[in-house]
Amino acid sequence: MSETQRKIPVMIPMLGEEEAQAAADAVRSGWVAQGPRVARFETEFAATVGAGHGVAVSSCTTGLHLALVLHGVGPGDEVIVPSFSFIATANAVRYVGATPIFADVELTTGNVTVDTIDAVRSERTRAIIAVHQGGVPFDTAALRKAAAGWGVTLVEDAACAAGSMAYGEPAGTGAAVAAWSFHPRKLLTTGEGGMVTVDDADAAVRLRRLREHGMNVSAADRHKSSQPVLEAYLETAYNYRMTDIQAAVGLVQLGRLGGLVAQRRALAARYQELLADIDGLVPVRDPAYGQTNYQSFWVLLDGFGVDRDEVLSALAAKGVSARRGIMAAHLEPAYADVTPPPLPVTERLTRNSLILPLHHQLTEDDQDHIVGILRDLAGGKA
């Protein structure tokens, strides 16, 4: 294939005939809204990530919102978040009327640390949202211990982390509350959709109520009853439900997760080997305490000699669809009214990093082509 014909997308969701059949079966069942498949998906996903309970929702963003509502975060409170994250992380704080306080991240993982959080913590700090950025787990042991000592809620934004490991366990194991994404950019997708996981049974009950208008009995339970059920609405809440069609797809996807992680880790290891001798280019790697699922494979151009945006253009000209690195929310117009503390690492990462293609259809020939372009840009090095 000529370079003009070659097209290498940055991401392709792993969807096949099994997912199509599962969705069709859900449609034929007549139960297309939240129902038995959602309940099964909740149970199986929670078991996969090492949590006691799963509560399916319409997105990770709504999951983060509910996590803050669950813990009573509201006006007058401050919530520490990384700016180095998709903007939904900070937006969820504003949904509850609280104030997002941006913390810097460490260069190697792109994650907040105990020190970067402590640097911006105040007496108004009510919660922290820590992100397993791009699938790289943050130091769960250190952050959970610190949050407990400070007396603040730690909400884990695990949007990208399905299949990642920290201290030998799935990234969600032991989290007080974690929110997950099933957007097509993630390893496990339901089209749109998300999950909140908790260990506390009472918290799960309230989360299910909050996602369904505050109703004290679910539509599924009403349907199963042989007698009329007169539901009550116990609090002002939301419509954040997942459909059974989505959950049917999610159940198939869940069975693929282990294989997808293994394949992505193998491809990432090959990238790391191929890129190792290119000066000024640093690929993402596992932290010492865990393993990433490589939901995104990013590289930092530090001293590379070619501007990041020029690299993106050069890749695009040869059929490679790469992306800018993780955004910095504090640099977006939506947060122009915020005066952040100095965030030198965040700005360095967001300015000088890019995401290379990584997906189940990526071939070794594709990787050689991508790395060859980068090597040419760097001036070549045997």
Query: Among all residues, which ones are annotated catalytic?
Result: 186
The candidate with the shortest Cα–Cα distance to 95, out of 77, 72, 68, 121, is 68
Say how far apart CA 30 and CA 53 lie, in whole Å: 26
Strand bridging mode 165-166 / 290-291: antiparallel
First to last CA, the chain: 25
Say how far apart CA 271 and CA 303 lie, in whole Å: 19
Burial of 5 (0-12, 13-18, 19+ CB in 10 A): exposed
Q: Mind giving me the DSSP string for 83-114?
A: SBS-THHHHHHHHTT-EEEEE---TTT----H
Say how far apart CA 37 and CA 246 lie, in whole Å: 9
Question: String of b and e for 37-67 (b: at least 16 CB within 10 Å)?
Answer: bbbebbeebbebbbbebbbbbbbbbbbbbbb
What single letter denotes the amino acid at residue 147?
A: A
Measured between alpha carbons, how far is residue 30 from residues 33, 36, 191, 193, 252 in Å?
Answer: 9, 12, 20, 20, 19
Say how far apart CA 199 and CA 177 lie, in whole Å: 8
H-helix or E-strand spanning residue 198: strand 194-198
Contact criterion met (CB below 8 Å) for 135 and 295: yes
Measured between alpha carbons, how far is residue 261 from residues 132, 147, 299 in Å?
Answer: 15, 30, 19
Angle ∠(341,74,217) on CA atoms, nearest 5: 140
